Chain A
Amino acid sequence: NAGVMQNPRHLVRRRGQEARLRCSPMKGHSHVYWYRQLPEEGLKFMVYLQKENIIDESGMPKERFSAEFPKEGPSILRIQQVVRGDSAAYFCASSPLRDSTDTQYFGPGTRLTVL
């Protein structure tokens, strides 16, 4: 039973380029969450999606960041025109149900480095 898959594990981009981070939830999970971890900090919520719907994007920066979870395929976090401050670890988590008791299981993360 495969866990949450994220790729790439490491991504290097130059300032101004686009970064695309992919996340495949655990089998049977229809809820996907993206978090960002800056160096030496805890994780901060970015966005919560279900298939074809953004449920809560209160943690997403207003510009350059977008997320989707299409009917088919993985969830994508897209960062346009990256800046050095976007360098961080980006984690995806999934859960089966929308309930406060449900555990979110995390993928291995994508480490984004902006040169």
Chain B
Amino acid sequence: AQKITQTQPGMFVQEKEAVTLDCTYDTSDPSYGLFWYKQPSSGEMIFLIYQGSYDQQNATEGRYSLNFQKARKSANLVISASQLGDSAMYFCAMRDNTDKLIFGTGTRLQVFP
């Protein structure tokens, strides 16, 4: 069965430092997509970054990059130069051939000055 695991319920990082949020996944489908979403305290879900299972390069979007290790089934999110506005819940999700997104339980990131 498809599953997403986020083992860090909470993380702290100092402003301007980099932080890595862990995500592992399990699927038997050869074709899948991996996504990260940010949910600030206001509640909306904001798409951050996408990685396809056949992509050779790690995805990057501004300060966000995805450390994709296919053999280990991990898709960790790296946020560089953290900002106070990065404080939020972060969800890793996987979309496979059944079309639905399967979400992890999330990691609450707090950035302190």
Contact B100 A41 (CB under 8 A): no
Is B112 on the interface with A (CB-CB < 8 A)? no
Contact A100 B47 (CB under 8 A): no
Residues of B within 8 A of A (CB): 31-33, 35, 37, 43-47, 50, 52-53, 91, 93, 95-106
Task: State the interface size on chain A (CB cutoff 8 A).
Answer: 28
Within 8 A of B (CB), among A93-115: 93, 98, 100-109, 111
Q: What's the count of A-B pairs with C-beta under 8 Å?
A: 69
Within 8 A of B (CB), among A32-65: 33, 35, 41-45, 48, 55-56, 58-59
Residues of A within 8 A of B (CB): 31, 33, 35, 41-45, 48, 55-56, 58-59, 89, 91, 93, 98, 100-109, 111
Contact A103 B35 (CB under 8 A): yes
How many Å lie between the Cα of A89 and that of B99 in the bound state? 21
* 22 A–B contacts, CB within 8 A, in A order: A33-B99, A42-B91, A42-B105, A43-B101, A43-B103, A44-B103, A48-B99, A48-B100, A55-B99, A59-B100, A91-B45, A100-B52, A100-B53, A101-B52, A102-B33, A103-B35, A104-B35, A104-B101, A105-B47, A107-B44, A109-B43, A111-B43
Q: Quick one: closest A residue to B37, CB to CB?
A: A106
A114 to chain B, nearest CB (A): 18
